[in-house]
Amino acid sequence: MSAEGIRSRQFSCLRKILERAGPVCHPDFEPSAEILNFISNDCKVLVIGAGGLGCELLKNLGLMGFRDIHVIDMDTIDLSNLNRQFLFRRKDIGKPKAEVAAEFINKRISGCNVKPHFCKIQDFDEDFYRQFSIVICGLDSIIARRWINAMLVSLLVYEEDILDQTSLIPLIDGGTEGFKGNARIILPGMTACIECTLDLFPPQVTYPLCTIASTPRLPEHCIEYVKLLQWPKENPFECSIDGDDPSHIGWIYEKSLERAACFSIRGVTYRLVQGVVKNIIPAVASTNAVIAATCVTEAFKLASSCCSTLNNYMVFNNVDGVYTYTYEAEKKDDCFVCSPFFRVKYMDLPHDGMKLNEFIEFLSGLQYQMKNPGIVAAFAERNRTLYMSGVPSIEEMTRDNLKKSLKELNIINGTKLIVTDVTRPTPLEIVIRFSEINN
Amino acid sequence: MIQLFKLKKNGETATKGTTKRSSAAQLRITKDINELNLPKTCTTKFDDPDDLLNFKITIAPDEGFYRGGKFTFSFRVGPNYPHEPPKVKCETPVYHPNIDLEGNVCLNILREDWKPVLTINSIVYGLQYLFLEPNPEDPLNKEAAEVLQSNKRIFEQNVQKAMRGGYVGSVYFDRCLK
Ligand SMILES: [Zn+2]
């Protein structure tokens, strides 16, 4: 049989959907044989993550007729992955997930061409991401999600303030945690983006590094201090932290107690240490399967226009029976990421007596969830670095600013700040507005 | 609903957006610096924390030929960063096949292989690698490269001599041991 013949048999089911009209089709849908060609030959899909969700996504995409697929993953295969990451075998342990997954799919599904990238998403720039028609995320990292979200927004082109839709790359995002999961579609610039709905994410408890290092108040601050700063420095067991090793937890427990004593903080317990250090997210194979199936179905709908797509956020929960619910997450007009780049971004603060360290805590709080913000004030004459925790020499020189108020740092209504953080591919430029000025 | 199939069929992907909007050198370097994640053999020095375009990075290798030495590089980030790499010079006189006596450094990512997606961090890792694996194939200091190729022991002795402060051949090196 000819290659085309095999192909038409391979996807005969899809052709029934794409080449015939029906009562549940989208009203604008025009059935044609061209659509399968588009899906197979022109629709380039990027899958981010080749783990639990990623394996499912790649398999589903291949079986739904997509052939031009790229996959990025920076991890290697571990024994504990094998129960659900079904593209991997025992012999693959230690090899890059992206490469093994791609090889498996390419061998198993004829015609499919998955191209692996064993690296971080941050290793690629705009030119790389611009080549795709759809991006699907199966990640467990919120930082990476936020980064790719902002990257896709940055690719948008506006023509006289009107969004040019050909520059839009839909982002389909899947996430699972135990028996719960969600799938959503983001049309950057048009519908709610990850950043618009940051408050949906279980507020990951992370603390600003400056608080951990200089002004701890909570027992968790002390534990994080030992985990993030003291362990790498003293390296007591000549290896990285293993949350399952009682001697590791014991060491962190003791050091955290010492640190807590220095600051008269109470409440450090062995259990709390375990909780903070391990931060475990359980993985359930069937949840991954449901969420990945939803994501790829939506990719198929987007690529073919055959049916209306998810609008726009689906939650799934099978802890107690099966529960699912879809609603329209709302786009924030003043979103720092997806409002048009030409619109000035304002940040409203209560008053100019706010201390810089309070401001940093505010940036790290629920609303913005930054991890390690570096802050530079863009004054007319010159830029002034207010604080950067990551670079010891700068941290030392700017540490005194933490205790100063924004007013003392010459920040007035209308001052522009440049804030950079790992959650974004580019720094954020914001204009400060105070509700109240102290005299 | 967005019609990907029709959009992509009629017009190709928009490429007008290739002009990078907010990637002025200042913005980008702020991000690079904030996210520096250096190996413990490296330290930074900023004379002025408000000037992120000019700074120094010192590498003190803890293995290889140059173990025990301390080498300072100056970084000058120009207005076209990240479309052009920063200018990096070695301020410590060093006997090294890929660093000449004026402090010019031969590292691929500082010239032909530079890409805007690379960062200051990538350069520091590249420099650190030069001390671990000096590369005689592509020399700036031809003499040092020849010695490295012909006799590793002599090369090692020469490196030691230079780092302790003294002459290698007719060239004087300042002491740069930790
Ligand atoms: Zn948004």
User: What DSSP string describes B126-144?
Assistant: HHHHHHHS--TTS-SSHHH
CA of A58 to the centre of ligand 1 (A): 27
CA of B82 to the centre of ligand 1 (A): 27
Q: Which two tokens stand for residue A293?
A: 């199936």
User: In the predicted model, is pLDDT for residue A187 greater than 70?
Assistant: yes
Q: What would the 3-class secondary structure string for A369-401 be?
A: CCCCCEEEEECCCCEEEEECCCCHHHHHHHHHH
Average pLDDT, stretch A142-165? 91
3-state secondary structure of A114: strand
Which residues 340-369 of chain A have a CB within 8 Å of chain B? 341
Which residues 30-59 of chain A have a CB within 8 Å of chain B? 34-35, 38, 42-43
Ranges assigned E (strand) in chain B: 42-45, 54-59, 71-76, 87-90, 166-168, 171-173
Q: Which two tokens stand for residue A432?
A: 């400060």
- Selecting from B11, B43, B49 the residue whose C-beta is nearest the C-beta of A385 gives B49
pLDDT of residue B15: 46
Q: How many CA atoms lie within 13 A of A235 on its CB side?
A: 6
pLDDT of residue B21: 36
User: B150 and B111 in contact (C-beta within 8 Å)?
Assistant: no
B-chain residues near A28 (CB < 8 A):
1, 3
A-interface mutation test, from B30, B33, B42, most A Cβ less than 10 A away: B30
CA of A149 to the centre of ligand 1 (A): 9
Note whether B50 contacts A124, CB cutoff 8 Å.
no
CA of A431 to the centre of ligand 1 (A): 18
- Selecting from A123, A372, A383 the residue whose C-beta is nearest the C-beta of B117 gives A123
pLDDT of residue B83: 85
CA of A209 to the centre of ligand 1 (A): 26
Report cis status (omega within 30 of 0) of the bond before A312.
Answer: yes
User: In the predicted model, is pLDDT for residue A206 greater than 70?
Assistant: no
Q: Which two tokens stand for residue B137?
A: 């194939």
CA of B21 to the centre of ligand 1 (A): 18
Q: Which two tokens stand for residue A392?
A: 């010891």
User: A200 and A329 in contact (C-beta within 8 Å)?
Assistant: yes
Q: Is A295 a catalytic residue?
A: no
The C-alpha of B1 sits at a distance from chain A's nearest C-alpha, in angstroms, of 7
- Selecting from A43, A164, A187 the residue whose C-beta is nearest the C-beta of B2 gives A187
Report how far residue A408's alpha carbon sits from residue A188's, in angstroms, rounded to the nearest whole number. 39
- Selecting from A130, A165, A383 the residue whose C-beta is nearest the C-beta of B2 gives A165
pLDDT of residue B18: 36
pLDDT of residue A204: 54
- Other Cβ atoms less than 10 A from the Cβ of B111: the count is 10
Q: Is B19 on the interface with A (CB under 8 A)?
A: no
Position A439 confidence tier, pLDDT thresholds 50, 70, 90: low
Q: Is A328 on the interface with B (CB under 8 A)?
A: no
Planar angle of CA A18, A20, A22, nearest 5 degrees: 105
What is the pTM for the complete model shown? 0.77
User: In the predicted model, is pLDDT for residue A374 greater than 80?
Assistant: yes
Which H or E run includes A151? helix A142-154
**Which of A112, A137, A193, A210 does the annotation list as catalytic?**
A210
User: In the predicted model, is pLDDT for residue A10 greater than 50?
Assistant: yes
| Interval A276-292: pLDDT, tens | 887 655 688 999 999 99
For residue B2, give the chain A residue with the closest CA. A302
Note whether A308 contacts B1, CB cutoff 8 Å.
yes
CA of A342 to the centre of ligand 1 (A): 14
- Other Cβ atoms less than 10 A from the Cβ of B140: the count is 16
Average pLDDT, stretch A246-266? 92
pLDDT of residue A45: 98
User: A31 and A304 in contact (C-beta within 8 Å)?
Assistant: no
The C-alpha of A179 sits at a distance from chain B's nearest C-alpha, in angstroms, of 31
Note whether B22 contacts A427, CB cutoff 8 Å.
yes
For residue B17, give the chain A residue with the closest CA. A157
Q: What would the 3-class secondary structure string for A263-275 be?
A: CCCCCCCHHHHHH
User: A423 and A371 in contact (C-beta within 8 Å)?
Assistant: yes
Higher pLDDT, B57 or A215: B57
| Interval A379-395: pLDDT, tens | 877 889 999 988 889 99
Beta carbon pairs, A and B, within 8 Å? 133
Note whether A43 contacts B44, CB cutoff 8 Å.
no
Q: Is B170 on the interface with A (CB under 8 A)?
A: no
Average pLDDT, stretch A65-90? 94
Low-confidence ranges of chain B (pLDDT < 50): 11, 13-23
For residue B13, give the chain A residue with the closest CA. A166
Q: Is A305 on the interface with B (CB under 8 A)?
A: yes
| Interval A397-417: pLDDT, tens | 999 999 999 999 999 999 999
User: A14 and A3 in contact (C-beta within 8 Å)?
Assistant: no
